[in-house]
Amino acid sequence: MSDLIKSFAKQKLSSLPPEPPLHEDTTLPDADSTDPTSDSSSASSMSSTGTVIPSTTTKAKSPAPIPWTDFFAQELYLETALPDSHSDAPGQAKYHIYLTPPATPKDPLIICHHGAGSSGLTFALFALELRRLQPTWGILSVEARDHGSVVYTSSGDVDTDLSVETLSRDFLRMIALTRRKMGWAKLPQVVLVGHSLGGAVVAHTAATMSNTPAMKELEASSDLDLELAKHIIGFTVIDVVEGSAMDALKSMQAYLLTRPKTFPNLDAAVDWHVRSRTLRNVQSARASVPPLLVQMPGGSWVWRTDLSRTEQYWEDWFGGMSGKFLRGRGAKLLLLAGTDRLDKELMIGQMQGKFQLQVFPAAGHFVQEDLPENTAELIVEFCKRNDSSQLVLPPKVSDLLAQGKKV
């Protein structure tokens, strides 16, 4: 949901100077000079997005979709029984993840959570760049329920509880199930990364890990891997802050009505995302857009996640997020596109040096897709700087004396 909040909010910032030119690899497809949709300004606003309509008669210009195999080593479906709050009988979950394991137990694992209406492949190009920089590091990209994973109640109905507490527990379960599936004796050092709604989930999870009463409550849930708390290097929130998100919520239903409801094919969907400047990197769009849609019996493609039906959770997702971010366990990195605003709580936290702030003005809301190289470089540097397990401390004087050495 917050993926769209950002897009809508940007229409109110027309007074800002024009954005810098895009990188050559992210150049948009050429548009006919008479095409009313060829506006060169950012089309991630409500008005411009509404003008870009997928054509049923014109062949889409975007290249063919790129499969997940170009970015990750494995695609896994992790099944488990879940407690059902409405029944004594358990429900069932089938979680969907993408994974490239770390080469050794000493190599870090970057664990990513996407935003509302998005998918695990929003981190596809980021994963490629991360492995280019650090070939032995691992990356895990999870998919939330109603986005790629599915959870059933004990009666067999789909469980559509998308509260941040539930999404956080799903997140923890996917990490635990991945560890068991891979047979890891212990978790590697971990950096959590969340984009938009995923940032809210990551901040909630990190705050829970630093809360003793909350941890004691979680200890009653044997399916959660609480060892994670001992291995978090830090966490990164990408392009969402509480103040901006909460301000935009009242206008979100109107914005959602401007999006196309169907596409004739996947190429048209990729083309719409690029021409509307929802995504500014064609290569990333080819990987991340296809999982957002499902095909209907008649052949058309519709959104996998009906975001308008998630309205009851919007305030729950972002309310109190700044406080959770600041008290979360581990080092903190806030990565924003250039048009965001820090709320008061975050401004005070920044002045107190409680987190690292990085702004990429050339990116849109999907920073990790628009600028995957820059994002990967930043997170690699963040991980290295904060990973205390890699520090080599000088020997103690008492140890040197015991070895008969002069000091």
How does pLDDT run across 90-132, given as a tens digit for each residue? 889 999 999 999 999 999 999 999 999 999 999 999 999 999 9
Within-domain flag for 27: no
- How many structural domains does the chain have? 1
Give every CB contact of residue 310 below 8 A, 6+ residues apart in sequence: 1, 116, 162
Beta strand 138-143 with 262-263: parallel, antiparallel or unpaired?
unpaired
Residue 213 within a domain: yes
Mean pLDDT, range 256-284, rounded to an integer: 94
- Range among 110-124, 203-217, 336-350 with highest mean pLDDT value: 110-124
Three-class DSSP category at 371:
coil
Tell me, yes or no, whether 55 lies in a domain: no
When pLDDT is averaged across residues 317-344 and rounded to a whole number, the result is: 90
Rounded distance between C-alpha atoms, residue 189 and residue 193, angstroms: 13
Domain range for 195 is 83-390
In this predicted structure, the answer to whether residue 5 has a pLDDT above a threshold of 90 is no
Instruction: Answer yes or no: is pLDDT of 134 > 80.
Output: yes
- Give me the active site residues, please: 196, 239, 365
Q: Which two tokens stand for residue 356?
A: 């690292």
CB 326 within 8 A of CB 349: yes
State the alpha helices, DSSP H only, in 257-366: 266-275, 282-288, 314-318, 321-327, 344-351
Does residue 283 register a pLDDT over 80? Answer: yes
Residue 207: the pLDDT is 95
**Number of other residues whose CB lies within 10 A of the CB of residue 388:** 9
Q: What is the pLDDT of residues 23-81, one digit of tens each?
A: 333 333 333 333 333 333 333 322 223 334 444 444 445 568 899 999 999 999 999 99
Q: How many CB atoms lie within 10 A of CB 383?
A: 23
Residue 276 lies in a domain: yes
Closest CA to 166 of 149, 185, 187, 189: 149
Task: Tell whether 67 is covered by a domain.
Answer: no
Residue 25, domain member (yes or no): no
Residue 30, pLDDT score? 38
Residue 400 has pLDDT above 80, yes or no: no
For residue 223, is pLDDT > 80?
Answer: no
Query: Would you call 373 exposed, middle or buried from its count of C-beta atoms within 10 A (0-12, 13-18, 19+)?
Result: middle
pLDDT value, residue 343: 86
User: In this predicted structure, what is the pLDDT of residue 227?
Assistant: 83
Q: What average pLDDT score do residues 345-368 get? A: 94
Q: What is the pLDDT of residue 89?
A: 81
pLDDT at 4 over 80: no
* Within-domain flag for 13: no
Residue 359's CB: how many other CB atoms inside 10 A? 15
How many helices (H) and strands (E) the chain has is answered by 17, 12
pLDDT band at 213 (very low <50, low <70, confident <90, very high): confident
| DSSP letters for 145-187 | BTTTBEEE-TTS-B-----HHHHHHHHHHHHHHHHHHHT-SS-
pLDDT at 375: 98
| 69 found inside a domain | no
What pLDDT was estimated at residue 397?
Answer: 66
CATH of the domain at 352: 3.40.50.1820
Q: Are 356 and 235 in contact (CB under 8 A)?
A: no
Instruction: Supply the mean pLDDT for the chain.
Output: 83
